[in-house]
Amino acid sequence: MKPAPEYRPEDYPTPPAAERIFGERLPLAEAYHRSLATDGFTRGFIGPRELPRLWDRHILNCAVIAEAMPEGCSVADIGSGAGLPGIPLAIARPDLRMWLIEPLLKRSVYLRSVVEELHLDNVQVIRGRAEEKSVRSAVAPVDVVTSRAVAPLGKLTRWSLPLARRGGAMIAMKGSSVGEEIERDAADIRNAGGEKPEILHVGEGLLEQPTTLVRIRRHAERAR
């Protein structure tokens, strides 16, 4: 493993938006930032060029998706990696019940250590892939399935919607080309039982660059 860099808080000042987003749970977000910048870097989850951008590009960018989450809902984060978006979301919204789904051992071990160290009682870590029957039986059905940079939209829909309850939704972080993905993968979305996709922008007034989401609801009724 790479040696951990010296962590000096003054090198990574907490943005004013972080306090508005996390409120009294800001110390947990700061502890997670420190973990990503040290342990996450050492384990190879975070590259050196990302260290100065951890707050804006990663933690806050993920936390604002809380705006799209209903009160008290259950959420599965598939392909959670180093905990993005699941950990920032769980910190910002302790009312949510979270499952972090991650297939790789070293990442799932890291996620469990973060959950334990931050005492995130609303979070469970599941090692596996979203499409595996064992994962679906352990997690599904949830109200919302979320993800970040996991797969093209069509494939992502096939993995996500089976975990969502009927009438639930997948809410995925996407880039500016999401409209093209929606058009390209329309057939896959329909075949997976998805309704018409919606494009959402969250974090406006908080982030310099708002986060783009696509929300696809699962049909409430079985197709006849």
Question: So what's the pLDDT on residue 10?
Answer: 74
Q: Is 8 annotated as a binding residue?
A: no
**pLDDT in the model for residue 149:** 82
**What are the two backbone dihedrals, phi and then psi, of residue 162, each rounded to the nearest 5 degrees?**
-65, -20
CATH architecture of 13-217: 3-Layer(aba) Sandwich (3.40)
In the prediction, which pLDDT does 224 show? 39
How buried is residue 62: exposed, middle or buried, by Cβ count under 10 Å (0-12/13-18/19+)?
Answer: buried
Structure confidence by residue, pLDDT tens digits, 22-77: 999 999 999 999 999 999 999 999 998 999 999 999 999 999 999 999 999 999 99
Task: Check the annotation: does 68 bind a ligand.
Answer: no
Q: Is residue 49 marked as binding?
A: no
Expressed in angstroms, the distance from the first to the final Cα of the chain is 54
- 63 known member of a binding site: no
Q: Is the pLDDT of residue 9 over 80?
A: no
Looking at residue 1, its pLDDT comes to 64
Could you tell me the residue ranges of all domains in the chain?
13-217
Task: Give the 3-state secondary structure percentages of the chain, helix then strand then coil, rounded to 5.
Answer: 45, 20, 30
**Model confidence at 217, in pLDDT bands (50, 70, 90)?**
very high
Binding residue per annotation — 30?
no
Q: Which residue has the tokens 């949510």?
A: 96
pLDDT of amino acid 55? 96
Per residue in 48-57, pLDDT (tens digit) is 899 999 999 9
Query: What pLDDT was estimated at residue 166?
Result: 94
Using pLDDT thresholds of 50, 70 and 90, give the confidence band for residue 5.
low
What is the SS3 assignment for 26-78? HHHHHHHHHHHHHHHHHCCCCCHHHHHHHHHHHHHHHHHHHHHCCCCCEEEEE
On the question of pLDDT at 136 being above 70, the answer is yes
